Structure 1
Amino acid sequence: MVFGPFTGKDNHGCPIAFGAGFVSSENCDAFSWVFTVFVECMGVAPRIIITDQDWGMRLAIEKVLSGTRHCLCMWHIMSKLFEKIPKSISDREKFSKEFKACVWSELLDPDEFDILWTGIVEKYGVEDHKWFKDMFVVKHLWIPAYFRDVPMGSLMRTSFSESENSFFKRYLKPLFNFVDFTLQYNNDIDAQRNQTERLDYYDSIISPKCATDLTFEKQLASIYTDRMFRVVQESISEADKSCRMISISTLENIEVFKVSDARKKTFTVTHEIETESFDCECKLFERCGYLCSHLFFVLRNKDVNNISEKYVGNRWLKSELLKAVHGLMSDESASDKGSNEDDKLQLGNRWHGRYFGLYQCAFKNKNHLIALDNLLAGIGPQIFTHESTGSSSVDKNDSIKNIYGIIVPEEITAHAPDVVSTKGGASDKKSRIKSSIEKAIEKASKLHRRCGECHKVTDHNARSCGRK
């Protein structure tokens, strides 16, 4: 049976498994069943799905996921490029470079792409080649120029399916039965969740260093996850050091900026004054969910300190803020939880939701932040009394009891064993039996002497010369 995982991206930009299914054959009916069950489990159909060039899967998506935008994986297509180039082309490396620059460009619109593609294939005489003709027919399914306004999150440029397959291969074996598979699959998911929790923990304790003195860089450093902030930080540094203003014009209620970036390309940024809305010609924010260097440059020149919430988005926020945005910590969600859950955990989740909700509302105004800080500082003395300061040892014992399920005994009877000096690596006596590796190391480091028979510097003598 064929194992097919559903893979996406989390807020750290790492692969995450939504689910998996088994099919007995790779045809339309089998894939239709998998997609139907997947939608039932998730509760909603995906907005975008990226697959390889399997025809049965494409028919199943058109049948079951009619409202989902289907894309073909660019990585799988472009990995076949060099073997598809005809041998009649003398400079195959030059053709490959020009063709990749055309295909991978996210800055071209569909009309510009068509012109550039046609020019390249006619230049090298491959306009009648079957593979290039077939790929041009389905260009709307895999060329980035046709997905400029679609929130892809950089999924088209990498093969997350291949990285997820290699991840599962660490745990799964072809000869596993379903019981073994279930156990190992749960281990896979636990390892993936552990990685996410570790990144969440780093985000909560690490404050990234700012590359500029811009205020909105500090704002984004406190909101975005560390991995995604490093990507955004490159755009901020480029805006601060490399971008240049070419021209500024005003037309009624709209400001138009011509901005040149580090690659000496010029893009148009429009600013609608009445609604305070910005838009860049490169469409990076629509595709990936974070602003480009051209917009950062305009915001810097307009002395913007805090970026509006609509241009921050909620795709790459830290986990706590992400949960607050989606309402996962609201009072309703806490009341709907099962009665078997811990009341303290429910109250803690509810408190986190309220705090981050207040924080997001107050972050837009400095006076609101000061008022919220003063309010929290005044609540502490009202709740916590001086009597609770001496209960640290009691709290520690309670936490140990909750974790291990036992009470700390008054008298400790079990102690760590003493080290046996005559066993293993702790031994320092010459009587210890040496391993073959130790003997080989000592023999290699031992100085050789000259043989009296063959007069060579070697590890044998005149008596054993010739016997080896």
Structure 2
Amino acid sequence: MRINRKLDLGHQIFVANCAKANIGSIKSWKLYRQMVGDYTDVGATGVDFQNFKRDLMAYIRGGDAQLITEKFLHKKELWSSFFFDYDVDEYDQLSRVFWADPVARRNFACFGDVVSFDATYRTNRYKLVFVPFTGIDNHKKSVTFAAGLIAKEDVESYVWLLDNFKRAMGHEPTYIITDQDPAMRVAVPTVFKSARHRFCMWHIMSKVGDKVGSVVAKDQSFRRALNDVVWDESITIEEFESKWLGVMEAYGLSEHRWFRQMFDLRAFWILAFFRDLPMGGLLRTTSRSESQNSSFGGCTNCHASLVEFFFHFEGAIDCQRHKQAKLNAACEGHLPVVKTPLAIERYAAAVYTITVFYEVQAEIVAGCFDCSVVSSAVDGVLKRVGVEDTYGVANSRGDSKQVWNDFYSCVALARHSSDRIMELSRVLKELKLSFVNADTSIGTSIGKSGVVQAFGGVITSSNILVHPPTVAKNKGSGKRFKSAKELAAERAAKSTRECKTCHKFDGHDSRNCPLKDLFIK
């Protein structure tokens, strides 16, 4: 009944917490119903939940960017190792943001040999491009080193982003892998003087079918010949160049513009050019970045404010680090079973994580039982042998989390007994009343405005210095050659209408029809 409808403090906090987890107001209402048992027991309607979510967004709207900058500047004051920087345009609208927390910087110090970064879209209502920096940890899982938001995908924005990354981490990675974005191609060598820039091999090879035409693309012998050259880790630079030119001549592609361009850029993506780098084979594509982008995209949405986006981002990072902590705990005190009497396998079990050890163990076992030595040669101080196959920081939220766990446990234990439910309700009401009587200010400090401010934060300045950005427009930062397939798809997508004079679909109408004069006469 309407008289029983009232959105109290518990409802408000629940809606705010669901918003932080990227759960909408209606789903929040349904989830609340699942907790209490029936819609009549919720005490509010779905519209009430929507209205409160609207009030949250109304509070954020004008000071969205200001709330975020003040929040991160406050973190920077609390933790000297927290890195944050931002930039505004000529209208004082937020245009660029970069941040890296202490844990992320420590992860880079441990695993920052190879960095992959790739832009992703549709993560916020302003259409700012989200750019996380990704690497691989000692469990071969993706780990985020830093992240940024930019309004434009131009050279200046990427230079600013990479320069902040370099300042935050203190040094450059061994090499960095991106797609063939023209702006990234200019920005990376501008900022990173010693790091090697590498293009994603998958992006390049996935375009082959569109570039060569339908006939050659269906030729399996061509595909095998090209893949044997491109993906071979063992050949030298000279061998690659010779085999590549042989494939091009064999299939009449020596003068093909795109293949010539890829050959000129071979030092940026062919495996032979990265054999001398430590960890050179760890990443060949931006698939890790794309996987992380998909993970981040799954926990946010294109309508999110900046405040919501950063809540969603922190939730995704917490999940990533929780999984890493579980893997670390699984490795502590665990000695996997060895399969050979070799000392190298026991040593690998002691120094590697479980995930990596099992991969190394498979190679050791394959080397023992599935391989045989076919050649041996001394190269300086190295002896080359050829084989043949025969393969946690504590925080103030800890106590609060335990209270919620205890509360849900009590509800679960009492739900099948009306006496227990009544007893639990009585205890909670008495406890609530004692809290209110003990502190008369609690009603004013934790009311609707208190929940709203706890969600978005409080703007300390009376004047808004950093305004929310305008909706960015990014359709790529440079021109590239479009394939015949892409051009045909664009032509097919263009809507045409029938001319009422000649009844043709040629992109004109009765006003400019070539046959208009004939019909008039």
Task: Give the residue type in structure 2 aligned to 1:417.
Answer: A
Are 2:161 and 1:34 equivalent residues in the alignment? yes
Q: CA deviation at 1:134?
A: 0.8
Query: Deviation string for 1:29-50 (max 9, x for gaps)?
Result: 1111111111122222222110
Are 2:341 and 1:213 equivalent residues in the alignment? yes
1:95 corresponding residue in structure 2: 222
Q: CA deviation at 1:90?
A: 7.7
Equivalent positions of 1:14-29 (< 5 A) are 14-29=141-156
- Cα distance 1:123–1:248, how it changes in 2: closer, same or farther (>3 A)? closer
User: Secondary structure of the equivalent of 1:197?
Assistant: helix
**Aligned-partner Cα distance in 1 for 2:290–2:217:** 32
**Aligned-partner Cα distance in 1 for 2:235–2:356:** 25
Equivalent positions of 1:401-440 (< 5 A) are 416-417=413-414, 419=416
1:74 corresponding residue in structure 2: 201
Are 2:165 and 1:165 equivalent residues in the alignment? no
Q: 2:371 aligns with which of 240, 243, 268?
A: 243
Equivalent positions of 1:118-137 (< 5 A) are 118-137=245-264
Whose relative contact order is higher, 1 or 2, with alpha carbons under 8 Å and at least 6 apart?
Answer: 2
Are 2:109 and 1:112 equivalent residues in the alignment? no
Q: 1:13 aligns with which of 140, 143, 146?
A: 140
**Aligned-partner Cα distance in 1 for 2:376–2:269:** 36
Equivalent positions of 1:185-264 (< 5 A) are 185-247=313-375, 256=383, 258-262=385-389
User: Secondary structure of the equivalent of 1:149?
Assistant: coil
Indicate if the aligned counterparts of 1:245 and 1:258 stay in contact, CA closer than 8 A. Answer: yes
Give me the TM-score of the superposition, normalised by structure 2: 0.50
Indicate if the aligned counterparts of 2:210 and 2:217 stay in contact, CA closer than 8 A. Answer: no
- Cα distance 1:28–1:418, how it changes in 2: closer, same or farther (>3 A)? closer
Query: Deviation string for 1:292-325 (max 9, x for gaps)?
Result: x9xxxxxxxxxxxxxxxxxxxxxxxxx9xxxxxx
Q: CA deviation at 1:254?
A: 6.0
- Cα distance 1:244–1:40, how it changes in 2: closer, same or farther (>3 A)? same
- Cα distance 1:193–1:418, how it changes in 2: closer, same or farther (>3 A)? closer
Q: CA deviation at 1:181?
A: 0.7
1:64 corresponding residue in structure 2: 191
User: Secondary structure of the equivalent of 1:154?
Assistant: coil
Q: CA deviation at 1:225?
A: 0.7
**Aligned-partner Cα distance in 2 for 1:401–1:4:** 34
Indicate if the aligned counterparts of 1:103 and 1:144 stay in contact, CA closer than 8 A. Answer: yes
Indicate if the aligned counterparts of 1:50 and 1:72 stay in contact, CA closer than 8 A. Answer: yes
Task: Give the residue type in structure 2 aligned to 1:57.
Answer: M
Are 2:283 and 1:155 equivalent residues in the alignment? yes
Q: CA deviation at 1:211?
A: 2.5
Q: CA deviation at 1:25?
A: 1.1
Q: CA deviation at 1:153?
A: 4.6
Q: CA deviation at 1:257?
A: 5.5
- Cα distance 1:78–1:401, how it changes in 2: closer, same or farther (>3 A)? closer
Query: Deviation string for 1:394-453 (max 9, x for gaps)?
Result: xxxxxx999959xx9xxxx999326269xxxxxxxxxxxxxxxxxxxxxxxxxxxxxxxx
**Aligned-partner Cα distance in 1 for 2:417–2:136:** 51
Query: Deviation string for 1:113-169 (max 9, x for gaps)?
Result: 001101111111111111111100100000001100112252015611111111111
2:304 corresponding residue in structure 1: 176
**Aligned-partner Cα distance in 2 for 1:401–1:187:** 19
Task: Give the residue type in structure 1 aligned to 2:308.
Answer: D
Q: CA deviation at 1:243?
A: 2.5
2:444 corresponding residue in structure 1: none
**Aligned-partner Cα distance in 1 for 2:159–2:399:** 50
Indicate if the aligned counterparts of 2:179 and 2:286 stay in contact, CA closer than 8 A. Answer: no
**Aligned-partner Cα distance in 2 for 1:249–1:48:** 31
Q: Identify which range, 239-248 or 113-122, moves more after superposition.
A: 239-248
- Cα distance 1:188–1:403, how it changes in 2: closer, same or farther (>3 A)? closer
Equivalent positions of 1:263-342 (< 5 A) are none
**Aligned-partner Cα distance in 1 for 2:163–2:191:** 7
Are 2:176 and 1:49 equivalent residues in the alignment? yes
Indicate if the aligned counterparts of 1:8 and 1:16 stay in contact, CA closer than 8 A. Answer: yes
Q: CA deviation at 1:212?
A: 1.8
Over 6 Å off, 4+ runs = 400-403
Indicate if the aligned counterparts of 1:45 and 1:65 stay in contact, CA closer than 8 A. Answer: yes
Structure 1's unaligned 5+ residue stretches are: 264-292, 294-318, 320-336, 342-399, 422-468
What is the RMSD computed on CA atoms of the aligned residues?
Answer: 3.3
1:373 corresponding residue in structure 2: none
Task: Give the residue type in structure 2 aligned to 1:67.
Answer: S
User: Secondary structure of the equivalent of 2:172?
Assistant: coil
Q: Identify which range, 71-80 or 111-120, moves more after superposition.
A: 71-80
2:112 corresponding residue in structure 1: none
1:86 corresponding residue in structure 2: 213
- Cα distance 1:404–1:86, how it changes in 2: closer, same or farther (>3 A)? closer
Task: Give the residue type in structure 1 aligned to 2:243.
Answer: L
Give me the TM-score of the superposition, normalised by structure 1: 0.55
Query: Deviation string for 1:11-57 (max 9, x for gaps)?
Result: 11111111111111111111111111111222222221101101111
Aligned residues: 285
- Cα distance 1:241–1:2, how it changes in 2: closer, same or farther (>3 A)? same
Query: Deviation string for 1:362-419 (max 9, x for gaps)?
Result: xxxxxxxxxxxxxxxxxxxxxxxxxxxxxxxxxxxxxx999959xx9xxxx9993262
Task: Give the residue type in structure 2 aligned to 1:170.
Answer: G
Q: CA deviation at 1:234?
A: 2.1
